[in-house]
Structure 1
C-alpha cells in the first residue's frame, strides 16, 4: 500500500474542514483536482474514507481510524524537514574530530574557537587518537575528520596537507649535546634514548628510514605518554626522540629541541577524511576553519630555529 505526502495532506485537510471546497482552498489546489486526489487515495487504501453527498461530508469509520495515523506521518515529515533545515543551515548537528593531544593546546585553538563562535548549535566531539587509531576510526565512520601523519598514499583517504612532521631530539638543557644547533643520528645513537609512541605508524617509518641509512635505534625506554618522556629527559636519564610537533610542547617546560639529520626524517601532517564520503555541512565548515587557521608554519620555524 503506497500513498504519498500530497494525498495525506489532502485527506487531513478534508477531515478537518469536512468540506472539499474549503479543504481544496487550504491546500491551494482546484476543487476537481482535490476530489481526484481523495479518490486516488481511497483506491490505494481500498476503501472509502469519506461519506459525501450534495449536503455534507463526513468521515467513515475507517477514515476516523486513519486520521491520527495520517497526522502522525505528516508531523514526522515536518519534523524531518525542520531537522534537515537545521543541519544544512548548521543551527544543529555534530562533528567528530580527532587530533594529537598536543595540537589542541596550540595549533588548533584558533580554528576551534572560530568554529564554536560561528556555529554554537553544532556539537563538537573531540578525540585525541594517534594516527593509526585515528585512521581506523575514520574507516569505521566513528570520526568525520582527523589530523594524522600521512605515511603512504591510501586511496580510501583524502588528505589536506598541514605541515611537515619531522623527528627531533629533546634534551635536558644541561646535556652537552644541547649546545649543538643540530644533531646527527650517528651521534645521537651513542646516547641513552627514550622513544615516544614508537609502536605507531610513525615509529615504524622511523625504523625503516634508519635501517635504509644503515642504522638502528635501540631505545633504552619506550613510553606512550608525553609527560613520562618529559620526566625521563628532565632528570637526564635519556634524550627524547619524537616528532617536532609533540616536542614543541616540551620546549615550554624548559627542555631543548634539536633537529636530527643524516638522515633528516619527515612526513606530512595532514587533515584526513574518507575519500568516498561527502562531509556534512558542519564537518566541511570545520575542515575549512582548520585549513584557514592552522598555525603549523610558526611551529616549524620555532622547532627548527
Structure 2
C-alpha cells in the first residue's frame, strides 16, 4: 500500500459509495456511467490512498470489509461536503449567488452606481450588491482592509497597498435656479469669479470637493460668501432650488434626480476637475461577480458623456 499522505478525490469516493450500494461492479459502473475497468481503477486508487482494503471480492461476490463499513458514513459525509463546495463554487462562478461590495464617492453613488445595479441585477438576480457611500479617504481604508471588493474614488496619498486605475474625469459645474442672473452668462464661459458674486452652498470642509474649491479660491485670491454647507449633493441642490444660493458640484450631479428646476453650466478653470479611479488592493484578484459588475460600471460610465470632460476642454 501507498504510505505517502494524499487525499481521496471526488470520483474515487463516488465509485466507492456506488459499489457499496450495489456490491456489483456491473451495476455500480452502470450507475456512474463508466466502464467496469475504470471503476476497478478508481476503487484500487482509493484503497492505495487510504492504505486499506475496502472490499473483499472474488468471482462470485463483492463484500465490504470491516474497514469499508466503518468508512462508509464518513465518506458519505465527505461527498456531501464536496458537493456543497462544488455547488458553492459553481454558483459563484456562474453568478447565481454571491455579494458584490463597493465603496464609492457620493457623486458616483448617486449617479452611475444605481444605473449599474439595475443593469447588473437584471442579468444576475442572485447576486446582491452592497454600496458604501463614503469619502475618498474612507474608500482607501475599506479597500485595504478588504471590507469591499473595490472602490471608486480618488488617490489621496501614495500607498503601496493599493492600485488605482483611471476611470473617469469629473468636471465641476455651477447649479442655479432657472431664472438666476447666471443664466445670461451660459452662452459664454462661467468662471469661478462669476460664481463668487453670489452666495455659495458648498459641501462640508472635510470633503475632497470642498478642499479642491477652497484651494482654487485661495490661489485665485477670491473671497466668497458661504450661504450654507451640505453633506450631500441632494441637500445642496435642494437649497439651491430654494434660492438660498448657488452650488458647485461635479457634473455627475446632472444625472441626479434632484436637479429638476435647476440649470447648470461648467465652471471654466484648468483646476476644477478631478480624476476618479477604480481602487483595488495590490495583488488581490476580483471575484467573478465583482469583475462583471465593474465591467457594467465601465459601460454605464462610457454611455454618460458628461464624464468625458477633461482638463483640455476646460481651458
User: What corresponds to 1:219 in structure 2?
Assistant: 226
Q: Distance in 1 between matches of 2:304 and 2:50?
A: 65
Deviations 1:157-197 (A, max 9, x none): 232423x2123333334443443234333343454322124
Q: Distance in 1 between matches of 2:175 and 2:216?
A: 19
Deviations 1:205-259 (A, max 9, x none): 3333444444576734322033432343234333323222225537732223233
1:159 to 154, 165, 180: 165
Q: Is the 8 A contact 1:49 1:60 kept in 2?
A: yes
Q: Distance in 1 between matches of 2:99 and 2:54?
A: 43
User: What corresponds to 1:40 in structure 2?
Assistant: 48
TM-score (norm 2): 0.74
Q: Is the 8 A contact 1:20 1:34 kept in 2?
A: no
Deviation at 1:68, TM superposition (A): 1.1
1:168 to 159, 167, 173: 173
Point out where structure 2 has 5 or more consecutive residues left out of the alignment. Answer: none
User: What corresponds to 2:287 in structure 1?
Assistant: 280
TM-score (norm 1): 0.76
Structure 2 CA distance for partners of 1:262 and 1:282, relative to 1, 3 Å: closer
Q: Is the 8 A contact 1:251 1:257 kept in 2?
A: no
Q: Is the 8 A contact 2:108 2:152 kept in 1?
A: no
1:232 to 227, 233, 239: 239
1:94 to 85, 92, 99: 99
Q: Is the 8 A contact 1:87 1:281 kept in 2?
A: yes
Q: Distance in 1 between matches of 2:177 and 2:43?
A: 87
Does residue 18 in structure 1 map to residue 23 in structure 2? Answer: yes
Q: Distance in 1 between matches of 2:178 and 2:269?
A: 23
Q: Distance in 2 between matches of 1:23 and 1:96?
A: 46
Point out where structure 1 has 5 or more consecutive residues left out of the alignment. Answer: none
2:249 to 235, 238, 242: 242
Deviation at 1:8, TM superposition (A): 3.1
Q: Is the 8 A contact 2:109 2:131 kept in 1?
A: no
Structure 2 CA distance for partners of 1:234 and 1:54, relative to 1, 3 Å: closer
User: What corresponds to 2:265 in structure 1?
Assistant: 258
Q: Is the 8 A contact 1:161 1:270 kept in 2?
A: yes
1:119 to 115, 124, 127: 124
Structure 2 CA distance for partners of 1:29 and 1:141, relative to 1, 3 Å: farther
Q: Distance in 2 between matches of 1:259 and 1:266?
A: 10
Structure 2 CA distance for partners of 1:14 and 1:223, relative to 1, 3 Å: same
Over the aligned positions, Cα root-mean-square deviation in angstroms equals 3.7
